[in-house]
Chain A
Amino acid sequence: MPEAGTGLAGELRLLGAEVASAATPRADLADRVLARIAEPAASRRARPPGWLRAAAVLAGLLVAVGLAAAVSPQVRAAIKAVFGVAGVEIRPGAGPTPAPSPVLPGEHRTDLPGAGREAGFTVRVPAGLGPPDEVTVADRRVVSLVYRRAGIRLEEFVGTLDLNYEKYLGAGMAEQVAVGGRPGLWFAEPVTLVYVDRDGVAHPESARRTAGHTLTWTDGDVTLRLEGVRDRAAAVALARTVR
């Protein structure tokens, strides 16, 4: 809460804050709104099908999936504006069944320079964790660093276009955080990730449930996802060392 300030303006700010605590919307507001906008379903069906496919072709991406349901670009834009992280999309809903041993398409082991060459960007590395136990690259796009002893996984991919990650989750499950001044999102609950390739095809064999506690942020045109640090402050602190 910003400082109220003095004088009449300050009093008005206080008044606003008091109203904020006294006036609350009805509990079933969202249900009512959703019921209302569902009414003219027939007319709205005309939305171009396959936008997800189109967006996926543009972006080529890793997708955290719950429902394989379409969300319009407008809703995406609004949600993106709200959550403020490039390349991250929030979708509520339960995820698909995770694969027994999830694997990304074409995922193979390599080393840091090799991963950078293949994915086409400089791979960022956290300070203080030592060399990763495993470096993989998948689909010439997604680089994963695994630190077994620390139980940490760091994924990186170029996320210049609108859609890179989608996370399906319930409202209120993501928290906005700042990682060295850059916008980030903290997920305290597990999400399900499914890879979607450049042709917009989802790969169910890649479906993987995260352990929970995921931090996503962007550094330039690279989107990073840090998994395995339980404490939010510790995750942000570690993320700040990723260079």
Chain B
Amino acid sequence: MSAGEREAYRVLVDRYSALAHRTAVLLGAGSDADDVVQEAFVKAFQALPRFRAGEPFRPWLVRIVVNETHNARRGRRRARLTLERAAPRYDPPVGADEPVERALSGERRAVLLAGLAALRSVDREVLTCRYLLDLSEAETASALSMPRGTVKSRTARALDRLRAVLGEPAPVEVSDA
């Protein structure tokens, strides 16, 4: 492989390393997130021949990170433990200059993380892609290799399950708010 090709790939790695890392952390890669991300970028490079011109790169990469996180978790068979250990890494720096009204309280954050950790991985993945990574329905469909309609229904179901885990009532069907 030429130096030029590697340098070109560096552009992609630099641009998407934050997204890849966030994906791995959120899906429970825990302390292995760095390794998972590195491996994902290596695999993505090897998979580039299957990348179709015109296809969006973001969900394509997320899909590889999702698979790689799966592999890492399966490899260790300590998924739940890892997730719990991963939780402190979410803590934003104290005194971050976020507008107060936008930030979650530390307690709420912990509750949400615990709730996510308690979900089955299919539910956690769809919520992670759709909301935590803020991918569109189409991007989520591509990232998780499922039809778009399935994303819609799975997202709704996963939200319901998260609510159940959190012991919160389903919202009243109005939702203009």
Q: Given A37-B9, A90-B8 in contact, is the A172-B14 Cβ separation under 8 Å?
A: yes
Bound-complex Cα distance A19 to B17 (A):
14
Find the B residue at minimum CB distance from A74.
Answer: B48
A15-B112, A67-B4, A70-B2 given; A92·B10 CB < 8 A: yes
- Assess whether A45 is in contact with B1, with CB atoms less than 8 Å apart: yes
Secondary structure at the B interface, as helix, strand, loop or mixed, is helix
User: Nearest-CB distance from A73 to chain B (Å)?
Assistant: 8
Q: In the complex the two chains form, is B11's CB within 8 Å of A33's CB?
A: no
Q: Give chain A nearest CB distance to B125 CB in angstroms.
A: 13
Contacts of B46 in A (CB 8 A): 37
Residue of A nearest to B61 (CB): A78
Tally of B interface residues using CB under 8 Å: 66
Known: A13-B132, A24-B18, A25-B21. A19 touches B1 (CB 8 A): no
Residue B56 at the chain A interface, CB threshold 8 Å: yes
Contact of B104 among A14, A21, A73, A74 (CB under 8 A): A14
Q: Which of A16, A37, A71, A82 makes the CB contact (< 8 A) with B45?
A: A37
Is A67 touching B3 in the complex (CB atoms < 8 A)? yes
Answer whether A19 and B90 are a contact pair too, CB < 8 Å, given A11-B104, A71-B4, A81-B57: yes
- Given A8-B168, A12-B131, A13-B132, verify A20-B51 contact (CB < 8 Å): no
- Distance to closest chain A CB from B38 (angstroms): 5
Q: Which of B66-74, B77-85, B91-99, B143-151 contacts A (4 or more CB under 8 A)?
A: B91-99
Q: Is the CB of A78 within 8 A of B104?
A: no
| B62, CB-defined interface residue at 8 Å | no
* B25 A23 Cβ-Cβ under 8 A: yes
Residues of chain B within 8 A (CB-CB) of A32 are 38
B75 at the A/B interface (Cβ < 8 Å)? no
Which of A22, A41, A81 sits near B1, CB closer than 8 Å?
A41
What residue in chain A is nearest B111 (Cβ atoms)?
A11
| A18–B91 alpha-carbon span in the complex (Å) | 8
Chain A residues lying within 8 Å of B133, measured Cβ to Cβ, are: 16
Residues of B within 8 A of A66 (CB): 4
Q: Does B42 sit within 8 A of A, measured CB to CB?
A: yes
**Residue B49 is within 8 A (CB to CB) of chain A in the complex:** yes
Q: List 9 A-B contacts (CB under 8 A).
A: A8-B168, A12-B112, A22-B92, A25-B37, A72-B48, A77-B52, A78-B51, A171-B10, A171-B14
**B93 and chain A: residue at smallest CB distance:** A22
- Name the interface residues of B26-41: CB closer than 8 Å to any CB of A: 26, 33-34, 37-38, 41
Cα A23 to Cα B57 in complex, Å, equals: 21
Chain A residues, CB < 8 A from B175: 7
The reply to whether B8 and A79 contact each other, CB–CB distance below 8 Å, is yes
Asked if A29 and B13 sit within 8 Å, CB to CB, the answer is: yes
Partner of B17, one of A11, A30, A82: A30
